[in-house]
Amino acid sequence: MEYSKLFYVLSAILFILGLKKLSHPKTARNGNMIASIGMLIAISATLIAYNELDFTLIIIGIVVGGLIGGVFATKVEMTQMPQMVAIFNGFGGAASALVAGADFITNMDKLDTGEMINGLDPTFYLVVVILSIFVGTLTFTGSFIAFGKLQGFISGQPIVFPGQQILNALFAISLVSIAVYLSMGGNDLVNFFYAIVILSAVLGITITIPIGGADMPVVISLLNSYSGVAAAATGFVLMNNGLIISGSLVGASGLILTNIMCKGMNRSLANVIFGAVGLIEEGASSGEGQKQMNIKSYSTEEAAMILDAAEKIIVVPGYGLAVAQAQHAVREVADLLESQGKKVLYAIHPVAGRMPGHMNVLLAEANISYDQLKDLDEINPEFEDCDVAIVLGANDVVNPAARHDKSSPIYGMPILDVDKSRTVLINKRTMNPGFAGIQNELFGFDNSIMVFGDAKAMLQQLLKDLKEL
């Protein structure tokens, strides 16, 4: 049993090396392979090192889980990636909580006698068990709410009701009280154990429902981090180095992404979690947002003529592109423009789409070279000498109000400077405001032109018109 720890160290090294190779698209695939070998080693070492394992159950579990995971992984559309990651976060959290729960049930008798458990002081053991079950269960239910929102089973709008924060605070206080009571040597362990499970499950739901559609990148990153924290906590329960190291890596990764997403919106994490932005703003904008704007609606034919005269074109994709599944249509248009000697770049805002890197994956799927995909800092100076910026289903990330309008909910958010281009071609389905619920003054700018319609249909028509010129 002891030598298995050596193999866990080896798999941890492989995880770290694998993640390190994710620092470049060229080596990334290799890195993923290395990490998966690390996992294989950890699983094999466990199967060999531990006696009296129930192999029938393990094989059933691995076959069933492998089939589900395999089908998911091969069938999922790239546009649905956020949902898939959300649901996987949930499974990871649930697995950690179940493992901690199973260990707790097995060792419960020892708690009465005050024996050491897994080499741990009983109080410390209880604390890490509670932590693991709490974070794991919360991740599970929270992820399913996030999945439901992304898939459209639940409204993507923030769901708020009076007293929501107070209710959440009450849940949290009860959880902490139970945890303290139990670790001080309280009785009736089993019932309180169930109380913790139920409270954590409810809390996972109530803290996720008030978060709106455009804030999804933050939620998914945060849940990703939680699933790592749950695994690390379970590692403490079992005193298993493998779980502790891997869990910490994932926890750190999720937290870094959460931080990047918050910066991308110039909001604090607390503001995202408790702010319910979107719902409040919708009411506010309908009153004053009706300022007279001179909207110029163009046909795809006219747009084609403008593009024909352009030399440098920057495409700005947003969530609308994913919804319309327009990534391949974009590439076809770009291919034609490039064949005419024009330069085409893609500007990707950190919070474009519904998860970190969502747009990059979509465009990569459409065979667009990754060195044409530029992030905010790289691309903003490029707009100065850009002839046409094509905004596809993006809204808040190009709203100039973020620069100057202190009353705007997106004030201070770093935006893509599309308005610096000679012409801004904006494609939207309708004039409806974006997810933050605010009108975009960009649409009325002198150099802005609007082409209405579904992104995919519009691009296909544009392609035809470009060819007919």
100-159: contacts with another protein (CB under 8 A): 100-103, 105-106, 119-121, 124
> What span, in angstroms and rounded, lies between the C-alpha atoms of 136 and 159?
23
Minimum distance from residue 120 beta carbon to another protein (Å): 6
Report the nearest approach of another protein to the CB of residue 253 (Å). Answer: 4
What does the per-residue mask of binding to another protein show for 256-285, with x meaning CB under 8 A? xx--x-------------------------
371-400: which residues touch another protein (CB under 8 A)? 371, 373, 375
Point out which span in 144-152, 166-174, 286-294, 348-356 binds another protein (CB under 8 A): 348-356
Figure out which of the listed residues 10, 189, 202, 252 binds another protein, where binding follows CB under 8 A: 252
Cα torsion through 36, 41, 47, 50, rounded to 10: -130
List 103, 215, 396, 417, catalytic entry? 396
Give the dihedral of Cα atoms 358, 362, 363, 366; nearest 10 deg. Answer: 170
Q: Is 20 in the site for another protein (CB under 8 A)?
A: yes
Nearest to 128 by CA among 106, 101, 109, 105: 101
Helices (H), 366-438: 376-379, 401-404
Residue-wise DSSP of 18-61: HHHGGGSHHHHHHHHHHHHHHHHHHHHHHHHHSSS--HHHHHHH
Residue in 355, 401, 413, 425 binding another protein, rule: CB under 8 A: 355
Q: Nearest distance from residue 30's CB to another protein, in Å? A: 9
Scanning 251-259, 311-319, 389-397, 454-462 for contacts with another protein by CB under 8 A, the matching segment is 251-259
41 part of the interface to another protein, by CB under 8 A: no
268: alpha, beta or left, given left = phi > 0 and alpha = psi -120 to 50?
beta
Q: Does 50 bind another protein (CB under 8 A)?
A: yes
Single-letter amino acid, residue 306: I
Respond yes or no: is residue 396 known to be catalytic: yes
Cβ 448 to another protein shortest distance, Å: 27
Amino acid letter for position 333: V
Q: Which of 270, 428, 413, 392 is nearest to 350 (CA)?
A: 413
For residue 6, state whether it binds another protein (rule: CB under 8 A). no
Assess contact for 214 and 278: CB atoms under 8 A: yes
Residue of 111, 199, 244, 321 interacting with another protein (CB under 8 A): 244
Nearer residue to another protein within complex by CB, 50 or 181: 50
Where would I find the H helices in 152-240?
A: 164-183, 189-208, 216-238
Q: Is 340 in the site for another protein (CB under 8 A)?
A: no
Please pick, from the candidates 234, 300, 395, 399, the single residue that binds another protein as defined by CB under 8 A.
234
